[in-house]
Each structure stands twice: as structure tokens, then as C-alpha cells.
Amino acid sequence: MFASEAGVQPLMYGYMRVMPEDGDDQLGRVEQQMRAFAETEGFYYATTLFEYTSGVHRAYDELAEELKRAEAHHVITPSLSHISAHPILRDHMVERLEHDADAVVFELSEP
């Protein structure tokens, strides 16, 4: 369990890529699973950032900036493939979060 020295729960942000075939019910279930993971691990779940356009990373860029602004260091995603399906790009994007925001990225399931 992660806890801060002041007893306040650290923030965790969710990140999810939305595919055209994803239904609202499915997205809601996955978001609830990410919230439950955060709570179980002792985090306060701040919000979910949704990426709607393939090949564009606006929500990812927003996530990176929000982590720095909020001094938050934890991200949950359904799987690392939500960050990018391309392994080299995905590794680079995760490393950017680790380097720029000192963030740890968790995934609900193995890719």
C-alpha cells in the first residue's frame, strides 16, 4: 500500500484509449476496475483521461502535464497497449512519464 507521510492518499490518474468498437458499458466497467484498483492500493483516483483518436496523443500529453502540475506520480491503464500498440513507442511514452513526472505506470492486465 502507498501512503504519504501526512496521511493523505496519493493521487492516481487513469489513462484509456477508446476504440470505435468500445461500448459505453464496457468503458464504464473498465474505468470502475481502475478506480477499484486505485482504492485497494491506497490511492485517491483523480480522473480518467480518454484518448479518442488513433495516432494522436493529446490526452497523453495532458496526462503528462497534469501529473507534473498536481505533483502526482501514479497512472493506471487497462493495459500498456492503451498507451501505444507499438512496443518501441509505448516504451518511450512510459519512460517519458517516468522521467518527466517521476511516475509509475500500473496496468490492470498483462498486454
* Whole-number pLDDT of residue 54: 72
User: How many residues are listed for the chain in this entry?
Assistant: 111
The answer to whether residue 5 is domain-embedded is no
* Whole-number pLDDT of residue 109: 78
Q: Is 37 exposed, middle or buried (0-12, 13-18, 19+ CB in 10 A)?
A: middle
Q: For 101-110, how does the pLDDT look when each residue is reduced to its tens digit (9 = 90+)?
A: 999 999 997 4
CATH number of the domain bearing residue 75 = 3.40.50.1390
The answer to whether residue 1 is domain-embedded is no
Q: 74-77 and 11-17 as β-strands: parallel, antiparallel, unpaired?
A: parallel
Give the domain extent around 38: 11-107
Spatial separation of the C-alpha atoms in residues 40 and 100, rounded to whole Å: 26
Task: Report whether 79 contacts 48 (CB < 8 A).
Answer: no
How many domains are there within the chain?
Answer: 1
